[in-house]
């Protein structure tokens, strides 16, 4: 039996679809939070569904009965509105993961796939005159002046490179800090119990059934929601931020590959894997593609910024491809064409 926490969500639901198609018996644990699922949450009738919060030990114990492997997707996502969101992020993500791992230890369950994120890196990988470098967080004064690209310590230009799992970790907002804490908790669990854990560091995920009109959604959802309302997507900074946009179906297939990997890996192993499409596009590219395929208004480049955002980060998914045999299947153009008119989840009031 596979348990998918957060299995009623955007990514969790795609994983459930893929797991059922692959022949897994699936149980879902989800709290159906109103700020995530809106007024009409959907329970998949094909699965054994448990309504409950992953932070509650008794609920977790019930959900883990007869389970062989756990796919942990339940989390509060996004940058947040302001720092007052911090307690909810820490409680939902880190306390929830700790309660789940304690329950798994007690139940003797030794296989885990946990949803992590590219945000654990902070800025992406850059090369300057002195070689590979990690720029400091961007300053508000530079952003106010429209100087968006980080510079090296001497003020020189930097070029971007694909980031690998061995890059230094440098979370730069509360959400990022909680995702890294989830990885550290999974590492400790694997070492102390002899478990096997894979952390999938998702890059920018998009696709059908994304939530709409919520401040915690990713940029793809915000652009798509604007077009749904007949409004132009509003692009922050200058739109040249480099990202790796990966379709949710490819995220789901990566999770299934990781589940298989946990069954054939030595006890006590924790290993992170980037999950990206392998192609680089800018945020402006995405906004223009969605507007074109939706027949909507051209994007507006605002020059606005969010201080916790990073400028460029693009994935090397070579480890996932080489070690797990995974390959992305949805191209950028195919995915954007579909997503431009795909159904979204109900708006969050």
305-340 pLDDT, tens per residue? 988 788 999 989 999 999 999 999 999 999 999 999
DSSP 8-state code for residue 137: P
Q: How far apart are CA 143 and CA 133, in angstroms?
A: 20
Task: Please give the pLDDT value at position 213.
Answer: 66
Q: d(Cα 93, Cα 78) in Å, to the nearest integer?
A: 12
Three-class SS of residue 27?
strand
pLDDT tens figures, 194-239: 999 999 999 999 999 988 766 666 788 889 989 989 999 999 999 9
Q: Which pLDDT score is estimated for 215? A: 61
N-to-C CA span, the chain: 35
Structure tokens belonging to residue 160: 């971007």
* Active site members: 175
Paired with 163 in beta bridges are 315
| pLDDT > 90? residue 80 | no
349 pLDDT band, cuts 50/70/90, is low
Distance CA 293, CA 342 (A): 11
Distance CA(108)–CA(64), nearest Å, equals 10
- Residue 181 pLDDT: 98
The answer to whether residue 346 scores a pLDDT higher than 80 is no
Confidence (pLDDT) at 15: 98
Q: Give me the pLDDT at residue 32, please.
A: 93
C-alpha to C-alpha distances, 31 to 11, 20, 41, nearest whole angstrom:
15, 21, 10
Q: Nearest to residue 3, comparing CAs of 14, 333, 15, 11?
A: 15
**The pLDDT of residue 348:** 67
pLDDT digits (tens, 9 = 90+) for 96-148: 999 999 999 999 999 999 999 999 999 888 998 888 888 888 889 999 999 99
Q: What is the pLDDT of residue 246?
A: 97
- List all residues 6 or more positions away from 82 whose beta carbon is below 8 Å from its beta carbon: none
- Alpha-carbon torsion angle 178, 184, 189, 194, nearest 10: 150
| pLDDT value, residue 214 | 66
- Per-residue pLDDT, averaged over 263-269, amounts to 97
7-49: per-residue pLDDT in tens?
A: 999 999 999 999 999 999 999 999 998 877 777 777 889 999 9
Residue 35 has what pLDDT?
77
Instruction: Write down the pLDDT at residue 134.
Output: 82
């Amino acid at each position: 039996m596979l348990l998918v926490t957060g299995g009623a969500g955007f990514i969790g639901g795609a994983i459930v679809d893929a797991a059922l198609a692959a022949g897994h018996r699936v149980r879902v644990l989800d709290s159906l939070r109103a700020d995530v699922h809106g007024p009409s949450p959907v329970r998949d009738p094909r699965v054994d569904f448990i309504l409950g919060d992953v932070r509650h030990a008794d609920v977790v114990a019930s959900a883990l009965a007869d389970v062989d492997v756990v796919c942990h997707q339940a989390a509060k996502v996004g940058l947040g509105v302001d720092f007052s969101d911090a307690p909810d992020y820490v409680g939902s993500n880190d306390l929830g993961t700790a309660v789940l791992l304690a329950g798994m230890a007690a139940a003797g369950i030794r296989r885990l796939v946990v949803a992590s994120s590219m945000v654990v890196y902070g800025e992406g990988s850059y090369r300057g005159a002195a070689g590979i470098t990690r720029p400091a967080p961007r300053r508000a004064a530079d952003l106010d002046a429209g100087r968006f690209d980080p510079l090296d310590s001497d003020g020189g230009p930097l070029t971007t490179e694909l980031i690998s799992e061995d890059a230094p970790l440098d979370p730069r907002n509360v959400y990022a800090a909680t995702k890294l804490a989830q990885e550290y908790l999974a590492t400790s669990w694997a070492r102390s119990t002899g478990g096997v854990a894979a952390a999938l560091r998702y890059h920018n995920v998009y696709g059908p059934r994304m939530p709409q009109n919520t401040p915690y959604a990713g940029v793809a959802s915000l652009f798509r929601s604007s077009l749904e309302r007949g409004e132009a997507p509003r692009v922050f900074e200058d739109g040249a931020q480099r990202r790796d946009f990966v379709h949710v179906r490819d995220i789901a297939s990566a999770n299934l590959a990781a589940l298989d990997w946990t069954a054939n890996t030595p006890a006590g192993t924790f290993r992170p894997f980037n999950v990206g499409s392998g192609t680089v596009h800018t945020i402006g590219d995405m906004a223009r593609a969605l507007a074109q395929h939706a027949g909507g208004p051209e994007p507006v480049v605002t020059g606005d910024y969010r201080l916790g955002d990073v400028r460029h980060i693009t994935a090397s998914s070579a480890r996932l491809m080489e070690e797990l045999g995974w390959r992305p299947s949805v191209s950028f153009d195919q995915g954007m064409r579909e997503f431009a008119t795909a159904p979204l989840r109900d708006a969050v009031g």
